[in-house]
């Protein structure tokens, strides 16, 4: 089973994300996007989610204002492709926290990262939601480290504590007192922590780590 491409399309026909797993010329890609957009956007809500396009199949599903469209081989299982699309949406929901079109517009790199963890050369490579989120969290930590000048955090915090630091660079200047209200807002409330998205958890953990580091540095 192999997916040839995955396209995220808005109701207005704007491409929000396009991932190609087959080698095609820019002209062929533009042709596919145009044809597929016209086919999918013209279909009614109750119509089948599968349709034929040349020698391939198109599998699509609408989530809110976005159409998730996958092109696969004619002999592939459409239901498995549909499940892969749904799994991708679930992973983005976990990361962004109820993902919407604006999340993908302003943070499209993360959408590509998540997709790359799920699919490799159009084939399903990872089914574990926990493993995918763990890998994305590690990528976020590496990006956080690159924010520092020279790629190194301040000497008074460890590399692990530096995760989430870039959320706090502005707040750190005003001291620990300003950080304490946020850090204690859901402190000790395990259920409150569980409902946060991965991105929100990174922010929360970063504030806690920063508060701890500042207080230790000043003691």
pLDDT digits (tens, 9 = 90+) for 89-136: 988 888 888 888 888 888 888 888 889 888 888 888 888 888 888 888
Instruction: Give the domain extent around 55.
Output: 3-127
119 and 203 share a domain? no
Report how far apart, in Å, the C-alpha atoms of 25 and of each of 12, 28, 29, 30 are.
Answer: 25, 5, 6, 9
Q: pLDDT value at position 55?
A: 86
Q: pLDDT value at position 147?
A: 53
Positive/negative CA dihedral, 25, 21, 11, 15: negative
150 and 113 share a domain? no
Residue with tokens 């087959």: 22
> Number of structural domains, the chain?
2
101 and 197 share a domain? no
Rg (CA), the chain: 21
98 and 166 share a domain? no
Are the C-beta atoms of residues 18 and 6 closer than 8 Å to each other?
Answer: yes
89 and 188 share a domain? no
Nearest CA to 110 out of 120, 121, 99 is that of 99
Of the candidates 127, 143, 176, which is a domain's last residue?
Answer: 127
104 and 169 share a domain? no
108 and 81 share a domain? yes
Q: pLDDT value at position 68?
A: 93
108 and 154 share a domain? no
212 and 118 share a domain? no
70 and 114 share a domain? yes
- Tens-digit pLDDT profile for the chain (219 aa)? 588 999 999 888 889 899 999 888 999 999 999 999 999 898 888 888 888 888 889 999 998 888 999 998 888 888 989 999 999 998 888 888 888 888 888 888 888 888 988 888 888 888 888 888 888 887 777 766 655 544 455 554 444 444 444 444 444 444 444 444 544 444 444 444 454 556 555 655 665 665 555 555 554
Q: pLDDT value at position 146?
A: 57
Of the candidates 109, 127, 145, which is a domain's last residue?
Answer: 127
Of the candidates 102, 127, 152, which is a domain's last residue?
Answer: 127
Write down the pTM of the prediction: 0.64
Q: pLDDT value at position 97?
A: 81
């Amino acid at each position: 089973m192999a997916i040839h491409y995955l396209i995220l399309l808005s109701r207005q026909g704007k491409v929000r994300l396009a991932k190609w797993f087959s080698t095609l010329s820019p002209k062929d890609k533009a042709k596919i996007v145009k044809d597929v957009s016209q086919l999918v956007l013209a279909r009614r809500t109750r119509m089948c989610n599968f349709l034929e396009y040349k020698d391939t199949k198109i599998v699509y599903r609408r989530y809110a204002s976005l159409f998730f469209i996958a092109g696969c081989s004619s002999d592939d299982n459409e239901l498995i492709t549909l499940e892969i699309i749904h799994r991708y949406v679930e992973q983005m929901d976990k990361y962004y926290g109820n993902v919407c079109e604006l999340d993908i517009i302003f943070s499209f790199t993360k959408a590509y990262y998540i997709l790359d963890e799920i699919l490799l050369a159009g084939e399903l490579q990872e089914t574990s939601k926990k493993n995918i989120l763990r890998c994305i969290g590690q990528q976020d930590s590496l990006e956080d480290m690159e924010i520092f000048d020279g790629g190194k955090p301040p000497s008074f915090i460890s590399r692990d504590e530096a995760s989430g630091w870039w959320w706090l660079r502005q707040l750190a200047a005003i001291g620990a007192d300003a950080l304490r209200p946020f850090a204690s807002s859901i402190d000790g409330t395990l259920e409150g922590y569980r409902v946060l998205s991965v991105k929100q958890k990174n922010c929360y953990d970063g504030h806690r780590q920063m508060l701890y580091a500042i207080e230790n540095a000043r003691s």
